[in-house]
Structure 1
Amino acid sequence: MAKILPFKAVRPIRAKAGLVASRPYEDYSAEELTAQLEHNPYSFLHIINPGYKFQQNLKGGQRFQMVKNRYLEFKEEGTFIRDKKPAYYIYKVKSRGSSISGIIAAASAEDYKEKVIRPHEDTIKDRELLFKDYLKTVGFNTEPVLLTYPDNQDINCIMREVMKSRPEYEFATPNRETHYLWVIDQPGLIEKIQKEFENTSQLYIADGHHRCASSYRLARESREANAGHTGEEPYNFFMSYLISESNLKIHEYSRLISSLNGHSKEEFLILLDENFRIENRGLEVYRPSHKHHFNMYLDGEYYSLYLRKTNYEFSDSLRKLDAYILYQKVLKPILGIEDLRNDKRIAYTHGRNDLIELKTRVDSGEFAVGFGMLPVSIEEIKEIADENLTMPPKTTYIEPKLRSGLTIYEF
């Protein structure tokens, strides 16, 4: 039974929502970041990059405190206001050819502990602790954890009806997306949505594993420090964006490797032949159409690689995963890459980028070979999570990617 609650969001006033909202910080080039900070005083980037005001590169606890200070300034100036009633928030992102809608709400940290909310990726303890300390200092959360749930016709019906009304926010962005936000604060609708999630046995983390784990650490630490703990305090929850499984967009990550680990091209192909049926496609761009098929770009030519299944045992959901097969049969034994997170010889490009990027980066000499595969399915994600297994790093690139600063959860 999932505990998904409405909350009183801190939000920008309607007139400034489009100016406040920002992409994730790491998505900006240095030039873009400078332009935003110089020319848009309302950008949320001023909060998450507080050192700009003093032309200082801040780190650690000092930066965390300055983030809080900038946030308080936005509230004091009236750019941010807090809703007077708890609400759910429908957030819709519309781009050319697609439209994705979900509900922003507060999810239970205890549900994460009890595996009602299930992960499929590993987290790094140091990152968990760092972000927990950040949350504790700033006292708010602005990047929701992306959770997915089985399609629910009752929730879909409520969302469709609400989205017939005028949205609280509607603004376009330079990447040709339009963003919408509706506020659901009617008690009857809130009760219906809450009950539907209570009848949901499992939710799955699609994106935001470290944010989820850090929020649980903060909840546990806050509970231990509070003698009057009830379980209903805001620190027991974290902001989430809940999206139905059919609405989720999952892309793959391609792998780029800087060298053949001392092998010649011919030696490399012979080593691959032990576990794959190889076909040289020449200049024909090859895209896999089945699981356990891979595309490879090497020395100006495309290849298709089909796993020889007689040489491989599919003993669990992880071993069925193409990213894991590529690691076990190519990256680790042939190319010598064991640490997928930290080895400098490997890089990743997500599937929203065309395969031409993979070709371009290999042709430039930056990389020696590139590999691609089909995206992971939601069924594979759920199987991995249900078996308490974890995917290799950079297995999924999941959309939507929300704008920061539109709803803020305080604790």
Structure 2
Amino acid sequence: MPKVDDDLPSGLTPREFSARIFGTSEPRTGRGLELAPFHGVRFAPEVAGDPAAVTTPPYDLIDEAGALRLLAGGGYNIVRLNLPRAAGESYATAGERLRRWLDEGVLAVDRDPALYVYEAARGGTVLQRGLVGALGLRAESEGVVLPHEDVFPGPVRDRLALMTAAKANLEPIFLLYDGGDDAARIVNDAADDEPLLEFCADDGLTHRLWRIADPALHGRVAADLRGKRALIADGHHRYATYRALQARHHAAGDGPGPWDAGLALLVDSSRYPPHLGAIHRVLPGLSPAEAVEQARKVFRVTDFRDEATALEALAGETGHAFLLGGGDSLHLLTDPDEHALSRSMPSDHSPRWRRLDTAVLDHVLIGGLWNVPENENAIEVVHDDPSAAVARARRLGGTAVVLNPLKVADVVAVAGEGERVPRKSTSFGPKPRTGLVLRLLRPDFDQ
């Protein structure tokens, strides 16, 4: 792997940066998919309090206002470790706090290495159940851990600074694999027992955690996973951070260690199919009137006054379709001119990639007809909530673009061919709860 300096390389395109971080040029190890047991670190309820009050959604789903609300509640919420800057604190301070919480018994380290079973349920329906463990890091060229989105230097630099200061993986990434064999049976058998932890959170879900400490079961899981591969569903920047941290230690001559793995939730998609939602766009600087006027050059436009009717019409479309909101009306874009599509879409991608709605959005609408730059000030995103996107656009005087979700099969196929879907194309869920189990990156806890 190329050396990764303290200052991650800048001046690269997202594709170039992703290739460098994910390590496409590394030789194959031949070890396949690995999810190893580790000494889990968990909040001690008798000291930390209600698990619902100290755990959160993933860090990148918490906005500044949400982080401040959680911080204002006091106590031991995980945001004090993984979002310290919301309180004006440094990552060094967060690392010191983690070590203090370990010393004070707020966090406890499990004595024996284990795999963990995590479940999210609504009512009596299990939405997700999978294994939490230490994922063996692999170069993309091995075809074992498959990213499907490019990453950007800023978020990787941010998470690398935190991970280095904390010497810990503070939340798992989320991967999918097509299993259905022995590991799946072990997961379901474990969930028949009394959980270590069970609570209802403000997301409306019941979260449960079990521990698998039997080395014989660890061996069976390892044997079952060895020939399989996994898709990164959520956590591309954190996986890239794992790889960057690994490269830094190897460049320093540290050799094998806990940095050769990263905390991950692995879900068997054949047993627990994921929910794949869309990520909608809000363009604060683009008026709805201008957006519609330019879109008419390529798309058929149908106007709606009622949001529910417009969303139903969007969901019923099988071709390229986008719903624009922000003003008094909503506008459904359909039936794009095929010649305009062929002129606008980059030729260095596969036909499947060029058919993705998010690719058409980026190249035909945002970068083409609307000439909006690709940056966080010009383009905001809203995960899986079209009404929230439309409402935000109205508040800002801008334009919301509501999309249908991509198909899981298309995402997997694109990743399997070594391509990436456009950035912010997928919102897989349910995402694992942050703070249920952490993993230390210290040689005395080497897995």
For 1:325 and 1:259, locate their aligned partners in 2 and report how far apart those are by CA, in whole Å.
Answer: 20
Percent same amino acid among aligned pairs?
Answer: 21
Give the drift of 1:387.
2.7
Q: 2:79 aligns with which of 37, 45, 50?
A: 45
Aligned to 1:403: 433
Give the drift of 1:156.
2.5
Aligned to 2:106: 79
Task: Give the structure-1-normalised TM-score.
Answer: 0.85
Aligned to 2:13: none
Residues 357-405 of structure 1: per-residue CA shift (max 9 Å, x gap) = 34433444x2343222211122222222223222222211222233322
Give matches, 1:82-97, under 5 Å: 82-95=109-122
Give matches, 1:224-235, under 5 Å: 224-226=251-253, 229=255, 231=256, 233-235=257-259
For 1:47 and 1:106, locate their aligned partners in 2 and report how far apart those are by CA, in whole Å.
Answer: 20
Aligned to 1:252: 278
For 2:82 and 2:330, locate their aligned partners in 1 and report how far apart those are by CA, in whole Å.
Answer: 43
For 1:26 and 1:127, locate their aligned partners in 2 and report how far apart those are by CA, in whole Å.
Answer: 10
Aligned to 2:198: 170
- Whether 1:336 aligns to 2:371 is yes
Aligned to 2:8: none
For 2:326 and 2:92, locate their aligned partners in 1 and report how far apart those are by CA, in whole Å.
Answer: 49
Confirm or deny: 8 A CA contact 1:167 1:180 kept in the other structure: yes
Structure 2: tracts of 5 or more residues without a match: 1-31, 442-447
- Whether 1:243 aligns to 2:267 is yes
Aligned to 1:57: 88
Confirm or deny: 8 A CA contact 1:107 1:240 kept in the other structure: yes
Aligned to 2:391: 360
Letter in 1 for 2:113: P
User: Counterpart of 1:375 in 2: which secondary structure?
Assistant: coil
Give matches, 1:271-350, under 5 Å: 271-283=294-306, 284-285=309-310, 286-289=313-316, 290-297=318-325, 299-308=327-336, 310-311=338-339, 312-313=341-342, 315-339=350-374, 341-342=375-376, 344-350=377-383
Aligned to 1:21: 55
Give the drift of 1:191.
1.4
RMSD between superposed Cα atoms in Å: 2.8
For 1:10 and 1:395, locate their aligned partners in 2 and report how far apart those are by CA, in whole Å.
Answer: 33
Return closer, same or farther for 1:41/1:391 CA change in 2, 3 Å cut-off.
same
Letter in 2 for 1:143: E
Please say which of residues 41-50 and 154-163 is displaced more in the overlay.
41-50
- Whether 1:6 aligns to 2:37 is yes
Confirm or deny: 8 A CA contact 2:94 2:166 kept in the other structure: yes
For 2:236 and 2:333, locate their aligned partners in 1 and report how far apart those are by CA, in whole Å.
Answer: 32
For 2:293 and 2:63, locate their aligned partners in 1 and report how far apart those are by CA, in whole Å.
Answer: 41
Give the drift of 1:183.
0.2
Q: How many residues align?
A: 392
Give the drift of 1:38.
5.0
Q: 1:377 aligns with which of 395, 403, 407?
A: 407
For 1:378 and 1:38, locate their aligned partners in 2 and report how far apart those are by CA, in whole Å.
Answer: 39
Please say which of residues 169-178 and 26-35 is displaced more in the overlay.
26-35
For 1:279 and 1:33, locate their aligned partners in 2 and report how far apart those are by CA, in whole Å.
Answer: 39
Give the drift of 1:12.
2.0
Please say which of residues 73-82 and 35-44 is displaced more in the overlay.
35-44
Letter in 2 for 1:257: L
Residues 134-158 of structure 1: per-residue CA shift (max 9 Å, x gap) = 3223211111111111142433322
Return closer, same or farther for 1:349/1:101 CA change in 2, 3 Å cut-off.
same
For 2:100 and 2:205, locate their aligned partners in 1 and report how far apart those are by CA, in whole Å.
Answer: 29
Letter in 1 for 2:183: I
For 2:42 and 2:372, locate their aligned partners in 1 and report how far apart those are by CA, in whole Å.
Answer: 45
For 2:408 and 2:314, locate their aligned partners in 1 and report how far apart those are by CA, in whole Å.
Answer: 20
Confirm or deny: 8 A CA contact 2:294 2:370 kept in the other structure: no
Give the drift of 1:51.
7.7
Residues 319-376 of structure 1: per-residue CA shift (max 9 Å, x gap) = 111011122221122211131x33x33322222x2x3334433444x23432222111
For 1:206 and 1:305, locate their aligned partners in 2 and report how far apart those are by CA, in whole Å.
Answer: 28
Give matches, 1:106-185, under 5 Å: 106-112=134-140, 114-185=142-213
Letter in 2 for 1:360: A
Return closer, same or farther for 1:374/1:187 CA change in 2, 3 Å cut-off.
same
Return closer, same or farther for 1:126/1:271 CA change in 2, 3 Å cut-off.
closer
Return closer, same or farther for 1:224/1:154 CA change in 2, 3 Å cut-off.
same
For 1:100 and 1:223, locate their aligned partners in 2 and report how far apart those are by CA, in whole Å.
Answer: 35
For 2:362 and 2:215, locate their aligned partners in 1 and report how far apart those are by CA, in whole Å.
Answer: 51
For 2:72 and 2:291, locate their aligned partners in 1 and report how far apart those are by CA, in whole Å.
Answer: 50
Give the drift of 1:89.
0.5
For 2:151 and 2:161, locate their aligned partners in 1 and report how far apart those are by CA, in whole Å.
Answer: 16
For 2:65 and 2:240, locate their aligned partners in 1 and report how far apart those are by CA, in whole Å.
Answer: 33
User: Counterpart of 1:247 in 2: which secondary structure?
Assistant: coil
For 2:379 and 2:155, locate their aligned partners in 1 and report how far apart those are by CA, in whole Å.
Answer: 21
Letter in 2 for 1:391: V
Letter in 2 for 1:42: Y
For 1:163 and 1:350, locate their aligned partners in 2 and report how far apart those are by CA, in whole Å.
Answer: 30
Task: Give the structure-2-normalised TM-score.
Answer: 0.79
For 1:301 and 1:372, locate their aligned partners in 2 and report how far apart those are by CA, in whole Å.
Answer: 14
Return closer, same or farther for 1:361/1:145 CA change in 2, 3 Å cut-off.
closer
Confirm or deny: 8 A CA contact 1:146 1:241 kept in the other structure: yes
For 1:235 and 1:371, locate their aligned partners in 2 and report how far apart those are by CA, in whole Å.
Answer: 40
Runs of 4+ in 1 over 6 A off after TM superposition: none
Residues 203-246 of structure 1: per-residue CA shift (max 9 Å, x gap) = 1111111111111111122123236x2x3x21111111111235
Return closer, same or farther for 1:89/1:309 CA change in 2, 3 Å cut-off.
farther
For 1:409 and 1:250, locate their aligned partners in 2 and report how far apart those are by CA, in whole Å.
Answer: 27
Structure 1: tracts of 5 or more residues without a match: none
Give the drift of 1:112.
4.9
User: Counterpart of 2:315 in 1: which secondary structure?
Assistant: coil
